A and B are shown apart, each in its own frame.
Chain A
Amino acid sequence: MISQELKKVILTELNLDDFDLQDETIAPEVPGWDSLNHVNIILAVEKSFNIKFKSYEVLRMKNVGDLQKLVDLKTGK
């Protein structure tokens, strides 16, 4: 399940009020989340949670659920 905190970071970066982000949501389904913006979203998540991703970790993410899992792992949740 996507945490409110992660959802807020993503939606703020995309300038969206709301969007139903689920574990299986993929970037192309979310308005504004294109390849050019992807890197900005990742950096915003890193900044907000005070964590750092490795490039290969980013490459392996298939959906928002994978991003959540990685955030949880890095923040020790």
Chain B
Amino acid sequence: MQALLVFLAIAALSLLASSRTALDPGRFPALAQLAASGLLFLALGAVVGPGSAGLLEWSDLVAVRPVLALGLGVAGVIVGLNLEPRLLRLLPRAVYAAALAHAGTAFLWVALPLAGPLLFSMGLPPGAAVGAAALLGAAASLSSGHFAVLGYRTGRLERNRGLSVALLTVLDDVVGLGVLALALAFGVKGSVLGGLGLVGLALLLGVACGALLAFLMHGLNDHGELMAVLLGGVALVSGAAAYLRVSTLLAGVACGATLAIIGGRAVGQAARELGRFERPVYLLLVFLVGAHVQARDVMAWALLPGYVGLRFLGKVLGGALARRIAGATLALPPRLGYALIAQGGLALCLVVEYLVLVPGPLSQRVFDVVVAGAVFNELLASRAFRRVLAATPTRASGGAT
């Protein structure tokens, strides 16, 4: 019955998300914005989940965990496929430094101040509290470039400026994934070496599955077969990671990156095929993520303003720093930090992965703060991005960076 409820809710949302009347930006701007970003699905998941209205129970969420694993795997493979090594090698060092500056500043601004409240409110060992604060920082460091991409596609922002912002947001994913790996290494096992071993196992699994997938796809010309093999490969890497209780997201990223390196011509096809499933899988994933929210945790609500506010400040300062570092290399817009407020789906993936692999009150609190923060950040990002546009003189679309 749980699956029925999940899919009914998604079908209803899918209808709502497509309704021009219900989601007229002139009438309900916030609702329209959440629908466009898919976070409406997150909000509905939170409402029907066991931590709120209780239409779904915790046992239901355990039952649909295979779907969650698949969603994380797909997200990981897509991120991995986007990390094209040839393009990454061509990037100047200043670009990496700028990405690290904006992500690192937000990380530190959130992780350091919030480590204290986590430590004192939970009564847990300092190591665990620091790990949780680090994950909050990692989630805060991630940004989504969808406002920038939308901006240049609609002609409101120069193309090269939009692409520069998008590039920085792609690179900050690496920071987030790195922190996730460390948080899992410290959190999953008593011994750090054992935890590192599990992170290594996830990466090894991903590399092996990526190589296998490249071999299986080699020489396949039929569109249907290619799609089926790709789907099977993604399910295999996600499923194997979930079965061995190692990070599905990291395994997926390793699989995608391996495929990108050795896949040859199959990579482009794989990316295109997977892109067709990206939106439905993302919507399903954010719905399931939302359903895991524990809305009755007062302490999480208390931490939320601090998280959102500190992240905002961190992004504004980090953006200014990044602009100073890479201003001569990239066509970055003034008030860059305001363009980096939107948080994106990878942050949700990070915290849900942490919740699944390191279950407990601490990971639940971190999860609740980041998920609620994602919604507020999305609403905040729209207004913030208008300040970027206001400060940016609009010219005819320029060339690529």
Bound together: no
